[in-house]
Amino acid sequence: MTLSQSEQLLVIDTALDLLMSDRDLFVVKNDFTPNKINAKQSDNFQKNCSLLEQPVDLCWTSRKGFSVGVVFYGPDRDMPIRDSFPTSSGTNTFIARFNLSGIHAQIAKAGQTLSVESIQKALTEQNTFSSWLFWPQYPHVQNIPIMHDDYGSAYELWMQLSDSSGGYVGFPDREAVGGVRAVYKGSNRTKNTGEVIYRFLVTFGGKSDNYHLIEYDGELYLLDYMYDTVPLTHENYTEIHASCSKAMPRKTCR
């Protein structure tokens, strides 16, 4: 299915409006990416920019320090899509792509006409027209498959389990490194892959947030409360990682 130029603009403008109003867009995930993209708590938007020499319709910097972009492409749109990226570049970048013809096809299959409402519905629900074009340390598997559940409800699940036995073993350990204090809250194994995830309440700068360490292939990786990898460029990355590592139960300390 093809779209006229005005229809393409309607789809793209609707998608960008959703992102800039803190809405999630569904993205088909691979083993190392989330199943959605959003720009929550971001206001540094730039339209028609470029990330890693890939033209994108919108880009921004997330509150965790990632460079993020979205690109819409199709047979009737002059938008090049890179076939590959240098493996050493852009380790702090996410780019999601959306097929305009696929969006139109999904809307038509639902018996709807192209409108702001039908476009919003298609973009925010499960679909097959989206995918990740680039993710941190592409194409290497440095970002580990953490959870195979819906990321939107993952944090809720953690909170429910943390208040019961639920497989967690909690200790009131507190460790401070460079003004960053971590309190170990428990651990659990993922259902599908069996990796151990350790949960911490981390306090620094007068604020508290939940962080996780996942043990994978002999290394400990730092994740935020949404199970996204914390970028190495995070201003407190070293202190948070060290504080959480020190707060782990002694039998699992490295």
Could you report the per-residue pLDDT of 45-57, keeping only the tens digit for each?
999 999 999 999 9
Higher-scoring residue by pLDDT: 113, 85: 113
Q: What is the percent of the chain where pLDDT is above 90?
A: 49
Residues 103-135 pLDDT 10s: 999 999 999 999 999 999 999 999 999 999 998
pLDDT at 7: 96
Mean pLDDT, rounded, of the chain = 80
pLDDT band per the 50, 70, 90 thresholds, residue 137: low
How many CA atoms within 13 Å lie on the side-chain side of 233?
Answer: 12
pLDDT at 231: 79
User: H or E element: which one contains 144?
Assistant: none
Higher-scoring residue by pLDDT: 246, 33: 246
pTM, full prediction: 0.58
Residues 161-176 pLDDT 10s: 333 333 333 334 445 6
Nearest to 189 by CA among 210, 172, 214, 156: 214
The residue-averaged pLDDT of 9-23 equals: 96
> Contacts for 82-86 with beta carbons within 8 Å, 24 or more apart?
82/52, 82/53, 82/54, 82/133, 85/52, 85/54, 85/134, 85/138, 86/52
Query: Does a cis peptide bond (omega within 30 degrees of 0) precede residue 139?
Result: yes
Contacts of 242 by beta carbon, 8 Å cutoff, 6+ apart:
177, 178, 180
Q: Do residues 240 and 204 touch, judged by C-beta distance below 8 A?
A: yes
